[in-house]
Amino acid sequence: MLNLEKSFYSKTSMYSFITIVVLFFLMWMSTAQFLHIDMALLGYMIGTAVFAIGLCIRMSFWIYRTATNRVAARSVKNLFTKERIKRNAKSLTITLIDNIVLQKFIFKRGLYRGIQHIMISWGCIISFAFTFGLTFGWFRFDLVDPDTYQMVAFNIPLIKMAAHGWIAEIFYNMLNIGAVMVLIGASMALFRRIKDYDVKVTQRFEFDLLPLYILLAVTVTGLALTVSYDFLDGWMHPHISLVHQITVVIMLMYFPFGKLFHVPIRPLATAVPMSYQETLKVDTKSCKSCHQPYSNDDQIADVQAILKAQSFDLQLADGSYLSDYCPSCRRRMRALKQMNMEAPKGNPYGPVNTNNGIHLSGFSKKRSEDFYGIEQDIKKDLGEEKEHEPVSR
């Protein structure tokens, strides 16, 4: 691998090249040496190729980020550790079902948002799967006899179905179903983004709205194709087809570089149950100062390694790191440091001094006691020298 890498400009370009080669090999294989290629889908094919390269580049860049790399590396290592098989299987299943298939956490943010997101995501997944499959000829439908279609995947004949049976209908309309789902979801999202004050606070047009417009353009033109074909006798069909093709290519090219890129990084969420938190909200590492559990040893080790790799110096005088303390103790340390109330000086375990005699009392300014000359008066009054605290307890 090392030698191979040297023949490329960079790792990224190597992975891109491999991806493209694999892609076209699969295509070559499944279309029976390019025999069954559908030339009408050529534009899509090129777009998809660009998409694959883009995705590859982005994924490589992402995975090489210090933080991502560390977290991903630990996950991969854990994945192949025998003792963890049970935990891994459980983590993967839970993440896959809860997080990716059902998207439970989004429903907890709101029913509206849940419906909206599941519509867009599953609509997209269906459409993508179908489009890619057809474009690269990974599967196709061959007419066996006038009444029967056969599905062929990777050049291997699979199920047969009646040309007008319900299974066939579903397959014919798969793209339409996906499109309608995306149309509903994207419209809901757009409505929310226009109406809701709270989302608008940090929303950016190019990041949050543009992808919605692109998705809408794709679905609307796609559905228009069906409408034209089924109801209008193919009126304007070639034009609409062209426009649709353009929008799809734009979307494919946009995908790796915009908001939609969150899809391929989501599987990293398995890292949480797999490496950090076996049971949610149960912590095992305890704070160095208050001894309350607040995290997990592996996670703190990762965080410290990531910070160190990026030259963050968060080490304290006693050799411990700030991340060895729970967030609440860290906040307190910052306040104490600021008020110079740590006692004994610099020792985070020591008892807390709540009055250092400098800040209290008088905030920005303190009029000296001799302004009043009371010290002498008091002494005269008491007839003897007595120590007295400025603030009583």
Partner 1 sequence: MSQFLVKEGVKNQIRKGEKLVTTHCCYCGMQCGMHIRVNEKTNKVVGVEPRYDWVLTRGKMCPKGVTAYQTVDHPDRIKRPLIKKNGKFVESSWEEALDLIERKFKGLQSNYGKDALSVYGGVSMTNEKCYLVGKYARVGLGTRYLDYNGRYCMSSAAGGFNKTLGMDRGSTLPWTELEHTDCFFMAGSNTAECHPTSIQWFWRAKDKGAKIIVADPRETATARVADVHLDLLPGTDSALANGIMHLLIKHEYVDNEYVQERCNNFAELKEMTAKFTPEYTSKITGIAVEKIVKAAHIFGKSPRSVVMFARGAEQQTAGVDNVSLYTSMALLRGQIGKFASGVATFTGQGNGQGGREHGQKSDLLPGYRKLTDPKAVEYISGVWGINPEDMPKPGVSAYEMFDLMLNKTIRGLHVICSNPVVSSPNINHVYKAMEALDFLVVSDFFLSETAELADVVLPATTWAEDEGTTTNIEGRVIHIRKVVEPLGESKPDWQIMSMIAERMGKGKHFQYNEPREIFDELRLASKGGKADYFGVTYEKIDEQDGVFWPAPAEDHPGSPSVFKEKFATEDGRANLAVCDWKGPAEVKSKDYPLWLTTGRVVFHYLSGNQTRRVGFLMEQCPEPFVEMHPELASQYQVENGEKVKLTTPRGDMIVPVKITKAIRKDVLFVPYHWGKQQAVNQLTSPALDPTSRMPEFKVCAVKLEKLTK
Partner 2 sequence: MNKIMYLEFERCIGCRACQAACRECGDHDAKERNYVEYVDFTESRQTFPMLCMQCKDPACARVCPANAIQITDEGVVLSAMEEKCIGCRNCTFGCPFGIPKFDFEKNKMYKCDMCYDRTRDDIAPMCASVCPSDAIRFIDFDEMQQLRRKRTQMNLVEGKKPQEGNKWDYVPEFFGVYTDSQS
Q: Which is nearer to partner 2, 158 or 374 (CB)?
A: 374
**Nearest-angstrom CA–CA distance, 57 and 39:** 28
Q: Which residues pair with 123 in a beta bridge?
A: none
Q: Which is nearer to partner 1, 157 or 357 (CB)?
A: 357
Contact residues for 59 (Cβ-Cβ < 8 A; gap 6+): 15, 256, 264
Tell me the Ramachandran region of residue 325: left when phi exceeds 0, alpha when psi lies from -120 to 50, beta otherwise.
beta
Asked whether the beta carbons of 55 and 255 are under 8 A apart, the reply is yes
Contact residues for 246 (Cβ-Cβ < 8 A; gap 6+): none
Residue of 66, 81, 173, 347 interacting with partner 2 (CB under 8 A): 66
Residue of 6, 82, 86, 365 interacting with partner 2 (CB under 8 A): 365
Helix (H) or strand (E) run with residue 53 in it: helix 42-63
Question: Smallest distance, Å, CB 277 to partner 2?
Answer: 8
Residue of 238, 319, 363, 370 interacting with partner 1 (CB under 8 A): 363
Question: Smallest distance, Å, CB 364 to partner 1?
Answer: 5
Neighbours of 221 (CB within 10 A): 19
Asked whether the beta carbons of 314 and 322 are under 8 A apart, the reply is yes
DSSP letter assigned to residue 324: G
State the binding partner of 386 from partner 1, partner 2, none, CB within 5 to 8 A by kind. Answer: partner 1
Residue of 366, 372, 377, 378 interacting with partner 2 (CB under 8 A): 366
Asked whether the beta carbons of 212 and 193 are under 8 A apart, the reply is yes
State the binding partner of 323 from partner 2, partner 1, none, CB within 5 to 8 A by kind. Answer: partner 2
202 part of the interface to partner 1, by CB under 8 A? no
Asked whether the beta carbons of 161 and 167 are under 8 A apart, the reply is yes
352 part of the interface to partner 1, by CB under 8 A? no
Residue 282: both structure tokens together = 């149960």
Q: Which residues pair with 143 in a beta bridge?
A: 149
Question: Smallest distance, Å, CB 89 to partner 2?
Answer: 19
197 part of the interface to partner 1, by CB under 8 A? yes
User: Could you tell me how many residues of this chain bind partner 1 (CB under 8 A)?
Assistant: 23
Q: Which is nearer to partner 1, 238 or 390 (CB)?
A: 390
**Nearest-angstrom CA–CA distance, 125 and 130:** 8
State the binding partner of 341 from partner 2, partner 1, none, CB within 5 to 8 A by kind. Answer: partner 2
**Nearest-angstrom CA–CA distance, 233 and 328:** 69
Q: Binding residues for partner 2, per CB under 8 A? A: 62, 65-68, 70-72, 105, 108-109, 197-202, 259, 262, 265-266, 268-269, 271-272, 276, 280-281, 294-295, 299-300, 302-303, 306-307, 310, 312, 314, 322-323, 325-332, 334-336, 338-341, 352, 354-360, 362-366, 368
Q: Binding residues for partner 1, per CB under 8 A? A: 197, 360-367, 371-374, 377-378, 381-382, 386, 388, 390-393
